[in-house]
Structure 1
Amino acid sequence: MAVGANSMLFIICFSIFIASSLSQQLTTSYYQRTCPRFDQIMQDTTTNKQINSPTTAAAALRLFFHDCLVEGCDGSVLISSTHFNKAERDADINLSLPGDGFDVVVRAKTALELACPGVVSCADILAIATRNLVTMMGGPFYNVKLGRRDGLVSRASRVEGNLPRPTMSMNQLINIFTSRGFSVQEMVALSGAHTIGLSHCTEFSSEIYNYSRTSEFDPSFNRRYAEGLRSACTDYRKNPSLSVFNDVMTPRNFDNAYYQNLPRGLGVLKSDRALVMDPRTKPYVELYAKDQKVFFDAFGRAMEKLSLYGVKSGRRGEIRRRCDSFN
């Protein structure tokens, strides 16, 4: 057992060293010479897409999380399945990923291939698109280092257990993040992404209909809120795509209202409401609810850290010609 433990410790330390070395190769000015119009093209693409489709910001942010937490931030979630491989995007939990997130990446890649073919990775496009869109919604600006290469592996079989689900226990949720080097506080800060976006009624229907013998809904819900959700989700069986805003108070603003909602029973998902009930996470919910600047600073730092997780370089990656298929 001692040998196994030491071996595991060595592997973890070696992985952290490799990740640190790779992240040092990335810079915010990576495309300054090879693709001088990179920043302008990305800004124009994300702005136009968000204006024409206001759900794009939340879609890209969710897509970014689902990409990074599985194989690292390498664009593996963008790959389409083939007859020989069921890709990440077709894993059960990813089937609900909104199309706007994929579309903004495709649009940016098309424009960049015209300006500087074969230079910009899809992984970098997704990372920058996410940051730009968060900022457009009123969220914090944070630096994104560039130079990622696109991953060479995308398998649906690797997804399960690596992404948070609303039904997971707090121990399971915390483990997903701590096993990747993130603290509990960073996990709570990243959960603030739910200040924008939607959740499907199917994700919480069991908590608002026939919850128990004594209650129609989970008592951790605010009563009036639960009644509103029941009304909004009435036809969820006929229409599985039926959704509600994660933040009922300021759904179109990236702010700290998400945290202010939780103590009032206004969290849509069980995993959201659990944050204010667990002693490990509750203090950070209260901190971010009280001070938006503190939340923004924490979210920005956590996103910078997340964007460097599992980055690829050299032969471990490529610059894809199309974001949905390997070269």
Structure 2
Amino acid sequence: MRTSGGGFAGLVASVATVCLLLPTASRAQLKVGFYNTTCPNAEALVRQVVTAAFANNSSVAPGLIRLHFHDCFVRGCDASVLLSVNPDCGNTERQSSANNPSLRGFDVIDAAKTAVERSCPRTVSCADILAFVARDSVNLTGKLFYQVPTGRWGGCVSNETEANNNLLGPDSTVEVLINGFRKKNLSVEDMLVLSGSHTIGSSHCASFLATNRRQRANETISAAYQALLEALCPPNSGQFDPNTTEIDVSTPVVLDNNYYKLLSLNLSLHFSDDQLIRNATLAPFANAFAANEMLWKDKFVAAMIKMGNIKVKTGIMDEI
């Protein structure tokens, strides 16, 4: 999860205090096919950009899914994570320790927005593009396709403190995870299901090394796995140490249920992941997902759609 991201300079870096107002069309609620009339090729254009980026580097997919998640969990799904300047001064969400240098995929959003703007100027919001690229990444890595309800507006506020206070770290306990999701109107099951996205992607040493040493002391992580991680990471890995490793050691580029299988084998990279199998209430559900991939995938799609509805802005007074 601790991987660096690119820039969004072409769209927001220069004048972050001036947001692009979209046309005052009816935006009462999200719906599938919102752009069917105003920009019928929007989803196809975004998909082309994501597919090309994925063909060049498959690691972009987990980065884009995580970008959508980290946007929605702060101020709602409003694309505020893309802003590189805070109009109220101070650092932005993307500059927070929870996101920097781990967030990546900003360059793909930039390319997708450019393609859509060329075809349909001032029509498709960046918040909806974030939902599209996440969906397309799920499709490319897990062969899962689902319809994305759209019609989100974006926000002009992006605050470092809000990101650090709302984003859940890799050292979170079960209680912290449950409460953090509950605050976003997501259930315990949603939390457990969405955690499965860790079956793809990589993480920086600083995100797991210290807590894994505590897990080793409690014998809740494989000794051989911990030795491998110790060999990979510098002894005192800091926030900006570039060393990373795959979260799923077996199928790191495939969105499958292998994440849940690794939990019971003491092969969880993050403390927060390992916690799911240590909880008597959650463990049976994690084991069920390990045994039935389609069960998890069906629930994962539903949870992604639900997450994409967190505090969406849909009124004409909102902005992108």
Partners of 2:181 and 2:281 lie apart in 1 by 14
* CA-atom RMSD in angstroms: 2.0
Bigger shift: 233-242 or 296-305?
A: 233-242
User: Residue 212 of structure 2 contacts residue 269 of structure 2 at CA under 8 Å; is this kept in 1?
Assistant: no
1:184 corresponds to which of 148, 171, 188 = 188
**Mapping of 1:177-216 within 5 angstroms?**
177-208=181-212, 211=214
Match of 1:77?
Answer: 81
User: Residue 139 of structure 1 contacts residue 255 of structure 1 at CA under 8 Å; is this kept in 2?
Assistant: no
Which secondary structure does the structure 2 equivalent of 1:180 belong to?
coil
Q: TM-score, normalised by structure 1?
A: 0.84
Partners of 2:96 and 2:64 lie apart in 1 by 18
Deviation at 1:27, TM superposition (A): 1.6
Which secondary structure does the structure 2 equivalent of 1:255 belong to?
coil
Match of 1:89?
Answer: 94
Q: TM-score, normalised by structure 2?
A: 0.86
Which secondary structure does the structure 2 equivalent of 1:317 belong to?
coil
In the alignment, structure 1 segments of 5+ residues that lack a partner are 1-21, 320-327
- Amino acid in structure 1 at the alignment position of 2:171: T
User: Residue 208 of structure 1 contacts residue 229 of structure 1 at CA under 8 Å; is this kept in 2?
Assistant: no
Partners of 1:150 and 1:317 lie apart in 2 by 7
Partners of 2:291 and 2:37 lie apart in 1 by 43
Which secondary structure does the structure 2 equivalent of 1:150 belong to?
coil
Deviations 1:125-174 (A, max 9, x none): 01000100111012522221011011122111212231111222211110
Quickly say closer, same or farther: Cα 1:70–1:31, change in 2 above 3 A.
same
Which secondary structure does the structure 1 equivalent of 2:300 belong to?
helix
**Mapping of 1:32-181 within 5 angstroms?**
32-82=36-86, 84-99=89-104, 101-181=105-185
Quickly say closer, same or farther: Cα 1:237–1:309, change in 2 above 3 A.
closer
1:318 aligns with 2:319: yes
Partners of 2:237 and 2:185 lie apart in 1 by 39
Partners of 2:102 and 2:27 lie apart in 1 by 28
User: Residue 152 of structure 1 contacts residue 316 of structure 1 at CA under 8 Å; is this kept in 2?
Assistant: no
1:299 aligns with 2:300: yes
1:256 aligns with 2:291: no
User: Residue 23 of structure 1 contacts residue 311 of structure 1 at CA under 8 Å; is this kept in 2?
Assistant: no
In the alignment, structure 2 segments of 5+ residues that lack a partner are 1-25
**Mapping of 1:269-288 within 5 angstroms?**
269-288=270-289
Which secondary structure does the structure 1 equivalent of 2:203 belong to?
strand
Partners of 1:278 and 1:161 lie apart in 2 by 24
User: Residue 211 of structure 2 contacts residue 270 of structure 2 at CA under 8 Å; is this kept in 1?
Assistant: no
